[in-house]
Amino acid sequence: MSLGPEASITDESTAPTADAAERPGEKAIAGRSLKQIAWRRLKKDKVAIAGACVVIFLILVAVLAPLLIKWFGHPFDEPHIDQLDPTLSTPLGKLGGISREFLLGVEPQSGRDIFSRIIYGAQTTLSVAFLSAFVSTILGTVFGLMAGFLGGWVDSVISRIMDFLLAFPQLLFAIALLSVLPDTFFGLGDRWSRVFVLVGVIGFFGWPYIGRIVRGQTLSLREREFVEASRSLGARSGRILFRELLPNLAAPILVYTTLIIPTNILTEAALSFLGVGIPPPNPSWGGMLSDAVTFYQIDPMYMIIPGGVIFITVLAFNLFGDGLRDALDPKAR
């Protein structure tokens, strides 16, 4: 669901071609697989590696959130009124109350620990972003493959649905849908119920982006000699799909899954910012920014910290995704 910021369109014209597997390594050393070539290229790309390191760091932070909060923070919903100016209810210390005890300061009005809220928010944001990317990838791959491989009326129906979804006022619709769906279900808490609803909505609107690319690649691969050879040897459709086509589609699918994650992070944050994402008092980066709107004139750090964290996270994913695309796509550069 590339609602991202104000529903932008991802740069499709730079789509990688899956020809990669066919081309020999540049220096004409035979027998190097695409994986090896790509890995060599990726290792040389310092910016992409830096992005990857930040991504890994963020994932670790999200996984270890409860421990980190125990060691360095305070429970995320615990108020610390003593840290606030009694008349203005803004943090007492400089820079939004940053101190050794409160690593990223405290919230105005409530005095909750911003560090804990950011860490806890990372857990939610990354879960939503990864799971919804997974949903989009599965749906996009299945429908894209079906459309490209089967052709005919199946192709027309699926293509029409994809066009329709892309021509849909997605952000508006997601907001509307999220506001009418129930807050809790299946006995899950309000936080995880919302995470799953967000995953469903974001994942569902994101699949046509991957579906279109998979369909296009399948269309061109289907006519290639190796598929023809396989078919003339008597291979069934299933074998052609999973053993001949899918491995050749792995590279573009991987690249676009990586690039859809930062978009999902922005979408989740946008929805939380608009008040239909993760329900308070559960922390989310977008929700923190939305709370900061009333305070940014007197306590700018409260706005800069969640905004900066979103920026760094999305940038890291983008850098890594771009690097991966360049590494897997011999046509680029």
Can you give the binding site for other proteins, defined by CB under 8 A? 5-9, 11-14, 163-164, 166-169, 171-173, 175-177, 179-182, 262, 266, 269-270, 273-276, 286, 289-290, 292-293, 296-297, 300, 303-304, 307, 310-311, 314-315, 318-319, 322
Between 99 and 318, name the residue whose CB sits nearer to other proteins: 318
Between 141 and 159, name the residue whose CB sits nearer to other proteins: 159
Residues 6+ apart with CB under 8 A from 297: none
Between 220 and 294, name the residue whose CB sits nearer to other proteins: 294
Between 28 and 180, name the residue whose CB sits nearer to other proteins: 180
Which tokens in the block code for residue 122? 């990372």
CA distance 312 to 12: 24
Between 72 and 173, name the residue whose CB sits nearer to other proteins: 173
Tokens 């409530």: give the residue. Answer: 110
Between 245 and 305, name the residue whose CB sits nearer to other proteins: 305
Minimum CB–partner distance for residue 89 and other proteins (Å): 19
Phi, psi (deg, nearest 5) at residue 314 = -65, -40
User: How many angstroms separate the first and last alpha carbons of the chain?
Assistant: 28
Question: Which of 171, 206, 249 lies closest to 10, judged by CA?
Answer: 206
Vertex 280, ends 190 and 265: CA angle to 5°? 85
Longest dimension (CA), the chain: 82
Minimum CB–partner distance for residue 9 and other proteins (Å): 5
Minimum CB–partner distance for residue 205 and other proteins (Å): 12
Which tokens in the block code for residue 8? 């932008």
Tokens 């005890």: give the residue. Answer: 101
Which tokens in the block code for residue 174? 């997601």
CA atoms within 13 A on the CB side of 30: 0
Between 141 and 263, name the residue whose CB sits nearer to other proteins: 263
Minimum CB–partner distance for residue 36 and other proteins (Å): 26
CA distance 127 to 301: 26
Minimum CB–partner distance for residue 298 and other proteins (Å): 10
Minimum CB–partner distance for residue 225 and other proteins (Å): 25
Residues 162, 166, 179, 115, CA torsion sign:
positive
Between 42 and 177, name the residue whose CB sits nearer to other proteins: 177
Minimum CB–partner distance for residue 277 and other proteins (Å): 12
Which tokens in the block code for residue 293? 């709107």
How many CB atoms within 10 Å of residue 307? Answer: 17
Minimum CB–partner distance for residue 236 and other proteins (Å): 35
